[in-house]
Structure 1
Amino acid sequence: MSSSHPVPECRRSLPRLSRLERQDGRIGRVVFYLPEVDSTNRLLANLAGRRAEAGTVVVADHQTAGRGKEERVWYSAPGTGLSLSVLLRPRVSIECMSQATLMISVAVADAIEAASGVAAEIKWPNDIMAGGRKLCGILCELVTTPDGDVDHIIAGIGINVSQTPDQFPDGLRSIATSIEAEAKRAVDRQTVLSLLLDRLEHRLAQWERDGFQPIRRDWIRRSCTLGRPIIVTTPQERRSGTAIALGDDGSLSIRTEEGSIHNYIFGETCSSSVAAEKTRN
């Protein structure tokens, strides 16, 4: 698809991936599919503004302007990854919204392991890792009502499925990987997508029904952040310490060398060794 063939913005004009659409539940009852789009998050945000139903999914073979946190470019060679966005209207209070990315992270890790056997790990707050390299990034965008209540969340998910190391740009080869590279076998992208929709359905219902504790327990089990020396970066500060706990609200606690404890509800993390390597280079 080229710029001379713009993506239709009307739901009735968008092609559907009907063979993966669910008859039950909320996630994936409507799945739109596009070979190429600028951004699945942007397109789904437009649809959400026209009251698309909760659980609507937009999936693309390739994004030309995909973005991660802090407006970073998300790179994926056409036809090698999964780029999708899911419209969520969770039945939880706005005070719990910081837990959404963590819930989705657990669902994604569950799906990757079910599809491939790869023991996916979670790096706080929004990355899925394997062997110390990034498999998936998650970007959640919260939209509120004029009264300050939750209207919806756009959950953008980018998964590296079949990329080989030489398909990543030079700057990513040492830090990115794919499901197939870790599994050392072919993995079907639609199988990954189908399992992801299943796991999202399960984890969303669990979060709404049982609260954050079951999600938190499984997040901790998959964590590659806790117990390790890290650096946390926020707009206000950059602090080193050991990650010691995931709070009931989804916050990350670190202990500095001086023994002080600091809690973060948002921010970026990297291991101290990775940060040192970047400094040397």
Structure 2
Amino acid sequence: METTLCSTRDGVSGHLLFDRSSALDIAAFVFDGTDLSPGLAIPSDGDHRIDHALAGFLFTCGPDHIRHPEAVEGRDDGRRYPLHGSLAGTPVIRAEMSADGTRCQALTEVDLASGGKAAVERRWSVAENGQGVVLEDRVTNVGDSAFAPMMMYHMNIGGRLLGRETRIVTPSLESGLIGWQFGEGESAHFCIPAHHEDGWSEVSLTPLPGLGGRRLAVRFRVDTLPFLQMWRCQRGGANVISIEPASHRLAKRVELATSGELGVIEPGQSRSYALAFTVT
């Protein structure tokens, strides 16, 4: 976890600490001296890869599966897609930081649960105006058989930073906003079609008392990430909320395949994804 991307806005510094051991996901996002990541305040599903990734600010589900394990199609040996897919916990092959510390690129090759292989070309950059961080991913099928690409980006925020006044604000919600402790009980989630303008959707958490009343805003491309999923957990020592742009609605793989929503990319074909975030 040694690669750092820096940005400055109105005299306030922001730093990203990347995890080279897991596809160059974000291990920490420190803004004005405060890390937004949940750290140890997370629940455990018993998968060390995901426990490690969930403690950070962003980790990537995919590129072959998202959400909970399911059987691999066409196999009778009990093989299953792992929790949140195959990418988490896969080290990068190479990473390169620009001299000015505003861009970082990496390549990760991942063995898919179905037996194929994919390459994830990742580019992190600070927007030219210094007002945000941009992630661009290209997933290429470098194996010998087609596979169904699925991606979801978990952006994890420590619940300690939120207060009773904090709201989820997005035009994707019919009401435009809801309280961050939505649903009932200690844990809840929803997944809805992402409203968009000019091909991008936006959601924000605001205000954040733990960041001096600031706002975290996330934007993502809807052509390949057409759904907004959100999840929270306040159970035992866990206190986390996650913004999760997703490629597919909340449904089993068999249902998605039957309805023609799963899709495939053939060997040599690629699919691109992008998101951006900022604190203001």
The TM-score, its normalising length taken from structure 2, stands at 0.30
Q: Which has the higher strand share?
A: 2
Structure with larger RCO (C-alpha < 8 A, sep 6+): 2
Q: Which has the higher helix share?
A: 1
